[in-house]
């Protein structure tokens, strides 16, 4: 039987965000008592919580989230165990070389660091393992389709450079993943479908891994 693992952080009123990002608001608009049904107003950043980045996030002429090739967001993916890396560690190509046979053109890879456990503490947003520019260039040369991270961003300081390398290579960047420790297999079927936000830069997602996907086929 197929097993679904939810890889998504919760969205709730006042959930913490990157310091300069829009704040999250989940507001009751009507209730059963007021209108005979419950309905909620949601105010949220396109990069809140578990989300993905489209190239338009850093390039005015880049692909927008509604135009993404969904094959990059949905399909077979590899989970790479990097739980040994400490906080503030700058990941280099040498750290992924042991997994190089699984990092190929059009690969979807997720880096398990267990950093999601720090959410929602302040250090979650500043002290996580980082994607170095060197690693970003290495992954761009590999022409992978998607990079999934348990950190809320790629790098707390060199975020512009790293984003531009990855998104310039049209790699979909998924940030804010959680619960990768619950995945039992190295290879899974991954789903990270974005909202179809016309002309925009990214989207919150409900990310999930499906083990033994053959049960659905």
What are the CA-CA distances from residue 188 to residues 10, 84, 147, 185 (Å)? Answer: 22, 22, 14, 7
Domains of the chain listed by start with CATH number: 3-216 (3.50.30.50)
Please determine, for residue 216, whether its predicted confidence score (pLDDT) is greater than 60: no
Q: Measuring CA to CA, which residue among 195, 155, 196 is closest to residue 175? A: 155
Spell out the SS3 assignment of 47-97: CCCCEEECHHHCCCCCCCHHHCCHHHCEEEEEEEECCCCCCCCEECHHHHH
* Predicted pLDDT at 212: 87
Q: Measuring CA to CA, which residue among 159, 107, 98 is closest to residue 128? A: 159
Q: What is the mean pLDDT of residues 162-191?
A: 98
Q: Measuring CA to CA, which residue among 131, 128, 152 is closest to residue 140? A: 131
* Predicted pLDDT at 66: 98
pTM passes above 0.85: yes
Q: What is the mean pLDDT of residues 140-168?
A: 98
Detail the DSSP E strand segments found in 82-199: 90-91, 108-112, 130-131, 146-149, 172-175, 187-191
* Cis bond upstream, residue 120 (ω within 30): yes
Q: What is the mean pLDDT of residues 10-32?
A: 97
State how beta strands 172-175 and 146-149 pair: parallel
* Predicted pLDDT at 213: 78
Per-residue pLDDT of 98-129, as tens digits, reads 999 999 999 999 999 999 999 999 999 999 99
* Predicted pLDDT at 215: 55
184 contacts 177 by C-beta, under 8 angstroms: no
* Helices (H) then strands (E): counts for the chain: 4, 13
Per-residue pLDDT of 76-94, as tens digits, reads 999 999 999 999 999 999 9
In this structure, the dihedral spanned by the alpha carbons of residues 40, 199, 76 and 159, taken in order and rounded to 10 degrees, is -90
Please determine, for residue 145, whether its predicted confidence score (pLDDT) is greater than 80: yes
Please determine, for residue 59, whether its predicted confidence score (pLDDT) is greater than 90: yes
């Amino acid at each position: 039987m197929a097993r679904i693992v939810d890889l998504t952080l919760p969205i709730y009123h006042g959930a913490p965000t990157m310091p300069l990002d829009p704040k999250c608001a989940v507001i009751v608009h009507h209730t059963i008592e007021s209108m005979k049904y419950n309905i909620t107003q949601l105010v949220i950043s396109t990069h809140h919580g578990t989300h993905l980045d489209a190239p338009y996030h850093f390039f005015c002429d880049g692909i927008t989230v509604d135009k993404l090739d969904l094959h990059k967001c949905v399909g077979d993916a590899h989970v790479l165990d990097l739980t040994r890396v400490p906080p503030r560690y700058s990941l280099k190509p040498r750290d992924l070389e042991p997994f190089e046979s699984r990092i190929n053109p059009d690969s979807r890879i997720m880096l398990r660091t267990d950093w999601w456990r720090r959410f929602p503490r302040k250090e979650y947003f500043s002290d996580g393992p980082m994607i170095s520019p060197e690693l970003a260039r290495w992954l761009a040369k590999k022409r992978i389709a998607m990079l999934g991270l348990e950190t809320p961003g790629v790098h707390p300081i060199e975020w512009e450079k790293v984003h531009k390398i990855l998104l310039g290579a049209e790699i979909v960047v998924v940030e804010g993943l959680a619960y990768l420790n619950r995945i039992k297999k190295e290879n899974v079927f991954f789903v990270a479908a974005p909202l179809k936000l016309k002309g925009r830069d990214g989207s919150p997602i409900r990310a999930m891994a499906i083990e033994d996907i053959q049960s659905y086929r």
